[in-house]
Amino acid sequence: MNTMTDYEGKAKKLSDDEILLSIDEFSAGYDASLILKNVSMAVPRNQVVALLGRNGVGKTTLLNSIMGLVSASGGSMTFNGRLVDSLAPDRRARLGIGYVPQGRDIFPGLSVWENLNVSLRVSGVAREEAEARLNEVYELFPVLKEMLKRKGGVLSGGQQQQLAIGRALLLKPKLLILDEPTEGIQPSIIDQIEDAIYAIKKKGNMSVILVEQYLDFARNASDRFYILERGSVVRKGEIDQLDNDLIARYLTV
């Protein structure tokens, strides 16, 4: 049983069944330096959890840890009822963790279609299912359908972000991890990404961890938040408890 306690101390219990990802007393770092210290976090099923904090507090390191790209020095992670600590990144991906890293690493030399097709091949789904998944992605991000033959590298930053998210969605993850999806992107595309998150939520079969500096976006899109400072969780709660006091203390530069 994991307990989500908001920052005023009101406890709201979640049963194990309601939690997709549970991070328990997790510590990790690089070589000699410990970055994450006893981080505990619960991502409920079908909810969007904002992971917030100033630059350098360890947000990306935590996401990399969830994906299995950083090795733990303590604690554990349970995904969909299964301990994943000893699993390599590709195994975690196959269990349903989809990761769109900071800086959207699409294949710049491949066309939009080829970028998407890499995911479809990895997923190994039959043609009909592949078509259905592609159509869902085109519905979320129509520009991708218009640009199938363009090289990924010539797209705008926002279009590349849409491609990176679309590619992750083709694998039908249970958990979608987005690291600063609006970084350096024009407002019209930010709106489309926000709408995509609403659409994902409405479908109701995916959770999202959203690392985001743009607070209006984070607030609109998320159900809950966690704030990291120097590698530890200092605050958590329902998103409407993210007030100006917390923002001033932990989030503004």
Ligand X SMILES: Nc1ncnc2c1ncn2[C@@H]1O[C@H](COP(=O)(O)OP(=O)(O)O)[C@@H](O)[C@H]1O
Question: Which positions touch ligand X (CB under 6 A)?
Answer: 30, 35, 53, 55-61
CA distance 168 to 52: 22
Q: How many Cα neighbours within 13 Å face the side chain of 6?
A: 13
Cα–Cα nearest to 68, from 212, 229, 76:
76
Residue 117 amino acid letter: N
Question: Choosing among Mg ion, ligand X, none, which partner's interface includes residue 55 (Cβ < 5 to 8 Å by kind)?
Answer: ligand X
SS3 content of the chain, % helix, strand, coil (to 5): 40, 30, 30
Q: Which stretch binds Mg ion (CB under 5 A): 52-60, 79-87, 93-101, 115-123?
A: 52-60
CA 19 from chain centre, in angstroms, equals 15
**Residue 58 interacting entry, from ligand X, Mg ion, none, C-beta within 5 to 8 Å by type:** ligand X
Please report how close the Cβ of residue 212 comes to Mg ion at its closest, in angstroms. 10
* Nearest-approach distance from CB 220 to ligand X, in angstroms: 21
Tokens 């694998």 map to which residue?
171
Q: Is 64 one of the binding residues for Mg ion (CB under 5 A)?
A: no
- Of residues 171-190, which lie at the interface with Mg ion (CB under 5 A)? none
Taking the complex as a whole, the smallest distance from the CB of residue 189 to Mg ion amounts, in Å, to: 20
From the list 28-36, 54-62, 113-121, 219-227, the region that binds Mg ion by CB under 5 A is: 54-62
Q: By C-alpha distance, which of 149, 67, 139, 143 is closest to 102?
A: 67
Assigned token pair, 55: 């630059």
Question: Any residues with CB less than 8 A from the CB of 188 and at least 6 apart, and which?
Answer: 158
Residue 61 binds which of Mg ion, ligand X, none (CB < 5-8 A, kind-dependent): ligand X
Q: How many residues bind Mg ion (CB under 5 A)?
A: 2
Which of 60, 64, 115, 119 touches Mg ion (CB under 5 A)?
60
Question: Shortest distance, CB of residue 32 to ligand X, whole angstroms?
Answer: 10
Partner residues linked to 4 by β-bridges: 12
How far, in Å, are 5, 110, 123, 130, 175 from residue 47 at the CA level?
Answer: 16, 33, 24, 25, 10
Residue 35 binding: pick among Mg ion, ligand X, none (C-beta 5-8 Å cut-off by kind): ligand X
Query: From the CB of 70, what's the least distance to ligand X, in Å?
Result: 8
**Using CA atoms in the order 7, 213, 66, 227, what is the torsion angle rounded to 10 degrees?**
-20
Q: Which is nearer to ligand X, 174 or 236 (CB)?
A: 236
CB nearer ligand X, residue 30 or residue 198: 30
The partner in contact with residue 166, picked from Mg ion, ligand X, none with C-beta cut-offs of 5 to 8 angstroms by kind, is none
Alpha-carbon distance of 242 to 227, in angstroms, equals 10
> Nearest distance from residue 197's CB to Mg ion, in Å?
19
Closest separation in Å from C-beta 132 to Mg ion: 33
Which residues bind to Mg ion, rule: CB under 5 A? 59-60
